[in-house]
């Protein structure tokens, strides 16, 4: 019993000191006191803020609004490998909403707002920059894929979309 007595006394003293310290600290805040609930972090499902004008992304692309992206030109040369890569990326990221044939009849349309038909002549008349910026920034209900796809991958999808025509 006597061997446990110093340990018990130490616990009692430590508990008393921590209670005194919390009383002394009342009203004082330290940076490490904040947790993720009260910190200035983005809330779940919140949209990320646009970067400041003129800032560069991870892959060196200048951040600009979608309406100023119409003049962008696809730097990816048209080749069989680029088209195949674009089709594979489209199947992975876009077909769930737009469908494998890009006509807006993907498997999710039965449970959500239908996606646009990307073979429509009106959409096909849009610039490469419009398609690129839409993939990068998203749309009204379309999520942004700017973080998921690299600069070159986005342009490969645009190249694949350019090959689609409505019969």
pLDDT of residue 167: 52
- Quote the CA–CA distance of 129 and 131 in Å, as a whole number: 5
- Quote the CA–CA distance of 151 and 93 in Å, as a whole number: 15
Tell if the pTM clears 0.75, that is, is over it.
no
pLDDT of residue 153: 93
- pLDDT (mean) for 26-33: 63
**Structural domains of the chain, with CATH:** 66-162 (1.10.760.10)
3-class DSSP state of 56: strand
pLDDT of residue 9: 77
Reading phi first (left if > 0) and then psi (alpha if -120 to 50, else beta), residue 108 is in: alpha
DSSP 8-state class, residue 144: P
């Amino acid at each position: 019993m006597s061997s446990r007595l110093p340990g018990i006394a130490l616990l009692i003293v430590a508990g008393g000191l921590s209670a005194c310290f919390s009383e002394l600290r009342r009203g004082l805040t330290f940076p490490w006191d904040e947790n993720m609930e009260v910190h200035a972090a983005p809330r779940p499902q919140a949209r990320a803020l646009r970067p400041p004008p003129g800032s560069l992304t991870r892959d060196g692309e200048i951040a600009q609004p979608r309406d100023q992206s119409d003049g962008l030109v696809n730097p990816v040369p048209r080749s069989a490998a680029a088209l195949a890569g674009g089709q594979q990326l489209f199947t992975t990221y876009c077909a769930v909403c737009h469908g494998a044939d890009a006509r807006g009849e993907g498997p999710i349309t039965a449970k959500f707002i239908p996606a646009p038909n990307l073979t429509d002549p009106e959409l096909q008349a849009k610039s490469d920059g419009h398609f690129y910026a839409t993939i990068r920034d998203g749309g009204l209900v379309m999520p942004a894929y700017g973080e998921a796809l690299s600069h070159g991958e986005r342009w490969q999808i645009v190249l694949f979309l350019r090959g689609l025509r409505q019969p």
